[in-house]
């Protein structure tokens, strides 16, 4: 690796560190967040060429080295914006459940296996769905009669 490459890597590390909030236990990414909720960084590496990648993966590479094939980086803390190397874990792809470690909905109900809906894998909490349907039926039946 020549001095120019080392300088580019150092500049990328500096850019990454400038956009981290290290005030808490999790080092939170304050830059661009993609539609999946992960931090993403864009950086011009050479004239006319740029690098873009997931911040937590880049932090792993800077701290521990390359990520082997069929391996992914997961967050022990469950926070997708966390880049603290102590919270990052090298995990085999087959050991990851659908949606990372998400096994329960936000209300604590156990989620079923994913189903294919319109070409996408989705999981809907059956308990929350029953509650929503009951509320909808209640609202629909509460329509007041029209006065004449």
Tens-digit pLDDT profile for residues 102-139: 677 767 788 787 777 776 667 788 898 999 899 888 88
Same domain, 78 and 111: no
Same domain, 92 and 109: no
- What pLDDT, on a 0 to 100 scale, did the predictor assign at position 47? 61
Same domain, 142 and 88: no
Q: Which H helix or E strand runs over 4?
A: helix 3-18
Q: Which domain holds residue 128?
A: 102-148
Same domain, 124 and 74: no
* C-beta atoms surrounding 77 within 10 Å: 15
Instruction: Tally the domains of the chain.
Output: 2
Same domain, 83 and 34: yes
Same domain, 83 and 112: no
Q: What is the mean pLDDT of residues 64-78?
A: 88
Same domain, 11 and 81: yes
- Whether 100 has a pLDDT exceeding 60, the answer reads no
Of 53, 13, 62, 2, nearest in space to 32 by CA: 53
Residue 5, both tokens: 């490459």
Same domain, 57 and 88: yes
Torsion on CA atoms 38, 44, 50, 56, rounded to nearest 10:
-20
Same domain, 81 and 114: no
CATH number at residue 47: 3.90.75.20
- Taking the C-alpha atoms of residue 69 and residue 52, their distance in angstroms, rounded to an integer, is 19
Parallel, antiparallel, or unpaired: how do β-strands 115-117 and 120-122 relate? Answer: antiparallel
Same domain, 80 and 125: no
Would you say the pTM of this structure is higher than 0.75?
A: no
- For 4-20, the pLDDT digits (tens) are 778 888 888 898 899 99
- What pLDDT, on a 0 to 100 scale, did the predictor assign at position 36? 83
Same domain, 60 and 130: no
The band of 43, judged by pLDDT with boundaries at 50, 70 and 90, is confident
- Taking the C-alpha atoms of residue 85 and residue 56, their distance in angstroms, rounded to an integer, is 8
């Amino acid at each position: 690796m020549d001095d120019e490459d080392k300088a580019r890597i150092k500049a990328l590390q500096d850019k990454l560190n400038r956009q981290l909030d290290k005030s808490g236990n999790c080092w939170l990414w304050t830059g661009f967040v993609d539609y999946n909720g992960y931090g993403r960084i864009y950086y011009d590496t050479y004239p006319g060429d740029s690098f873009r990648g997931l911040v937590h993966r880049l932090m792993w590479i800077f701290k521990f080295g390359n990520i082997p094939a069929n391996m992914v980086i997961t967050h022990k803390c469950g926070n997708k914006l966390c880049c603290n190397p102590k919270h990052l874990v090298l995990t085999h792809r087959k050991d990851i459940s659908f949606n990372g470690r998400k096994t329960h909905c936000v209300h604590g109900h156990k989620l079923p296996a994913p189903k294919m809906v319109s070409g996408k894998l989705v999981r809907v909490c059956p308990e929350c769905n029953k509650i929503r349907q009951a509320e909808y039926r209640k609202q629909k039946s509460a329509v007041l009669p029209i006065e004449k």
